[in-house]
Amino acid sequence: MPDALPALRSVVLDTTDARGLAEFYRQLLGYRYRPGDEPPPPGEPDRAGYDWLVLADPAGSMMLAFQQVGHLAPPTWPDDGVPQQLHLDLSVPTTDDLAAQHERALTLGARLLQDRFDDPDEPLRVYADPAGHPFCIFVAPEP
């Protein structure tokens, strides 16, 4: 049996608007496009393939990718119907940061699904991104 284990390289989100969803997460997380995936200057056509775009955190260790699909049934969580299947967990160190990120997420196009801001054990909010994928922002101590 080989000693090398697989390495998680990225999380991939299906979407009917790869550029739009990549821009949402780029602004929300402060990630950068992989070279060649950047949007074009205003007025120029988008040369990066809309079928696959990649963002990386500033250190280049975490990647989030976006795969263009023709149709996507957005999750209906917390209602039954279409399960969330996957969600992203994002954390901030304080409730003040959670409040500030709430406003940013909504301004960028997120939709609030669940609000547990006042939970004394784990303040959190659950959102849907513009494509409908759920993601959480919660308070957790710095690692």
Tens digit of each residue's pLDDT (9 = 90 or more) over 70-115:
998 888 888 888 877 788 899 999 999 999 999 999 999 999 999 9
Question: Phi, psi (5° rounding) for residue 98?
Answer: -60, -45
Options 3.30.70.100, 3.40.50.720, 3.40.50.12160, 3.10.180.10; which CATH number does 88-139 get? 3.10.180.10
Fold of the 11-68 domain: 3.30.720
- Is the pLDDT at 31 greater than 80? The verdict is yes
Token pair in block for residue 135: 């993601």
Q: Which residue intervals of the chain bear CATH 3.10.180.10?
A: 88-139
Q: Which residue intervals of the chain bear CATH 3.30.720.120?
A: 11-68
Model's pTM, two decimal places?
A: 0.84
Task: Give me the mean pLDDT over the 13-26 stretch.
Answer: 94
Cα gap 75→86, rounded to integer Å: 9
At 43 the pLDDT is 86
Q: For the stretch 89-103, what's the b/e string if a residue is b when 16 or more beta carbons lie within 10 angstroms of its beta carbon? A: ebbbeeeeebeebbe
